[in-house]
Chains A and B, each alone.
Chain A
Amino acid sequence: MANEPQIQQDDEVMLLNMGPQHPATHGVLRLVLALDGEVIRECTPVIGYLHSGFEKTYESKKYQQCVTLTDRMDYLNPLGNNLAFALAVEKLLGVEAPPRAQVIRVLLAELTRIQSHLVGLGSNGLDLGASSPIMYAFRDREMLLDIFEMVSGQRMMTSYIRPGGLAKDIPPGFEEAVQRFIDYFPEKLDEYHGLLTRNPIWMDRMVGVGKLTAEQCLELGVTGPMLRAAGIPRDLRKDMPYSGYESYDFQVVTRTESDCYARYLVRMDEMRESLKIVQQALNRIPDGPYVLDDFKHAYPPRQLISDQMEALIHHFKLATEGYRVPPGEVYSAIESPRGELGFYIVADGSGKPYRVHVRTPSFTNLQCLPVMAKGGFIADLVNMIAAIDPIMGDVDR
C-alpha cells in the first residue's frame, strides 16, 4: 500500500499500527510506525477513516442548509465553523452582519475557543495518565455548554451563527450566565496551573518533547497555537481582523521553546485572553436587529408574516429556493482554536454553492507529526498528538 513507510525490511525494524481505534489518537487517526525497540524510526499518518464527503454534500444543499453541515466538521468548534461559513457567504453577498450580531458572534466564538481548549487540555492530561484534569475540564465545559444550549437549544451543534446574522436573538438571562462564567473561570484556570504546570512528572514528559524549529513550522504551513508556541505571533484575529476583532484589546500569546510544554502553556494563556475578549464583548452588546432585517437572507420573525404580505413572500421564497448568491468566488479565513480555518466558496448565482472547500487547520498541522516523531519514543508520540490537538472531523472532512 502506498501508505506504509518505505523502509528496507531489515529484521531490526518492526511495523506496528497505532490504528484507527486507539485511546490516544484523539479520534480515528491511524499511524503506521516503524519501530526499533521503543524508538520510532518512521511514523506515517494514514487518515481518511472519518471522511464524510462534506465538500460533495455542500454542493447539494442550499446556503442556509449548509450551516448545519458546518457544525459537524470541527465538532469542538461548532460556532467557529458557523462563523467562518457565515463570513464567507456574507462577503459573497456583499453584506455585513448588524453590529449586535457581530459582537455576539465574537463573544460566542471566544467561548467556543475556551471550550475547545478545555477538551484539548483534559485529553492531553488523560493521555499522560493524569485522569483528574479531564474531570475538572469537563465540569467547567458543562457550564459553557449550558450557555450554548440556552442560546441555540443545542449543546454542541448550535447552527446559531448564520449568513446575515444570528438564528435567534439572545434569550434573557444570557448576560448573567456569561458573567457568572467570567467570574468563575479564572480561579479554575489557576487550579489547572496548580494541578499540572509545575507538576514534575508533567514537566518531565512535556519539556523538550516534540520540538519543531520555527522554520519547520513555517515550511509545513502550521498555524494556530503550535505556530505561536514557536515564537511567531501570527493570529488571524489580529492580522486580518473580522467581525470587529480589531476593536478588542487582547494579547497574542507566544512562547519560543516550541515543544509540547510551550504549546500547553500557549493554550492555557489563550484561554485567559479569550476570557478578556468575552468580558469586553459582554460589556458592549449594542441594541438593534440581530439579523439583516431585509429578510432576503433570514426568515422574518413569525408575527410579521401574518400581517405583512411582503414578509410572507420573503418567507416563501427563502423556504423553497433559498437566497441566491451572485456569482463569484471568495476565500475567507478565521482563527479557529487549532489555526487558520478558511472557507473557499464558488457561487454560480443559484441557491446552492457550486464548490465549497474548507482549509482546515488540523489537516495541515498533522503533517508535522512525522517530522516531530522521528527518533522519539512511543510514549512521547502520545503527547505530540495531544499537542497538535487534531480533530478527525476537521482532518478528514
Chain B
Amino acid sequence: MGVEEKLPGSLQVIVTKLANWGRQGAIYPLTSGLACCAIEMMSASMGRYDIARFGSEAFRATPRQSDLLIVSGRVSMKMAPVLRRLYDQMPDPKWVIAMGDCASSGGVFNNYAILQGVDRIIPVDIYIPGCPPRPEMLLQALQTLKMKILHEGDIHGRI
C-alpha cells in the first residue's frame, strides 16, 4: 500500500514497519453511530473512559478523512448499501471494527430486517462481543487493532 510497494528488497521491510508504526499512532474513526452501541461509543470518547488517550478522539464526520469505521449498532437491510458505500469512500489504509453483537452477527435480531453480521458486506478486522460492549471493551479493541496494524505485513507478507 503506497510507498512499501515501490521500494526494493530489505529496505521495504524497514519502511513498512515505520509506516505501520506511524499509522497506528492516531487512528481517526468515522462518526457513524447506528444504534445503542453508538451511545456507548460516545461514552468511550467522553471524560471517564477517554478514547483520547489512544489518539482516536477526533471522530471525523466524513469518510474521506477517517481511517477506521466503527460499525456501532445493528445494520438494517436498508442501511447495508449505505454502509458499503461509506466503506468504499474511505481512503486506504482503512480498518473496520464491528462493535457489539448486532454488528458482528445480527445479535438479538435474527429476522428479515437486520443484516446477520456486517462482515457480509465489508471485511471486518476486529469483532467486539457485548450488547452494548462496555467502553473499556471498545478501548481494548482499539489496542488490539493497533497491535494488528503494527504487525501488518507488506503485500509480500514479509513482516
A residues apposed to B, CB below 8 Å: 19-23, 27-28, 48-53, 56-57, 68-69, 72, 75-76, 119, 134-135, 138-139, 141-142, 145, 155-157, 392-393, 396
Min CB distance A2 to B, Å, is 14
CA gap between A69 and B132 in the complex, in Å: 13
CA gap between A157 and B109 in the complex, in Å: 15
Are A27 and B38 in contact (CB-based, < 8 A)?
A: yes
User: Which residues on the B side are within 8 Å of A392 (C-beta)?
Assistant: 35
Mask, B85-108, CB within 8 Å of A = 1, is: 010000000000000000000001
B residues apposed to A, CB below 8 Å: 30-36, 38-40, 42-43, 46-48, 59, 61, 73-74, 76, 78-79, 82, 86, 108-109, 111-114, 131-132, 134
Are A75 and B76 in contact (CB-based, < 8 A)?
A: no
Residue contacts A-B, CB under 8 angstroms, 30 given: A20-B82, A21-B32, A23-B31, A23-B61, A27-B38, A28-B34, A28-B79, A48-B76, A48-B78, A49-B82, A50-B35, A50-B73, A50-B79, A51-B78, A52-B35, A53-B114, A56-B112, A57-B109, A68-B108, A72-B108, A75-B39, A76-B39, A119-B42, A134-B42, A138-B47, A139-B46, A142-B48, A145-B43, A157-B36, A393-B36
User: Which residues on the B side are within 8 Å of A134 (C-beta)?
Assistant: 42, 46
User: Which residues on the A side are within 8 Å of B108 (C-beta)?
Assistant: 57, 68-69, 72
Are B109 and A75 in contact (CB-based, < 8 A)?
A: no
Are A49 and B79 in contact (CB-based, < 8 A)?
A: yes
Min CB distance B107 to A, Å, is 9
Are A52 and B74 in contact (CB-based, < 8 A)?
A: yes
Min CB distance B37 to A, Å, is 9
Closest 7 CB pairs of A and B: A53-B113, A75-B36, A138-B46, A53-B111, A49-B79, A23-B61, A21-B32
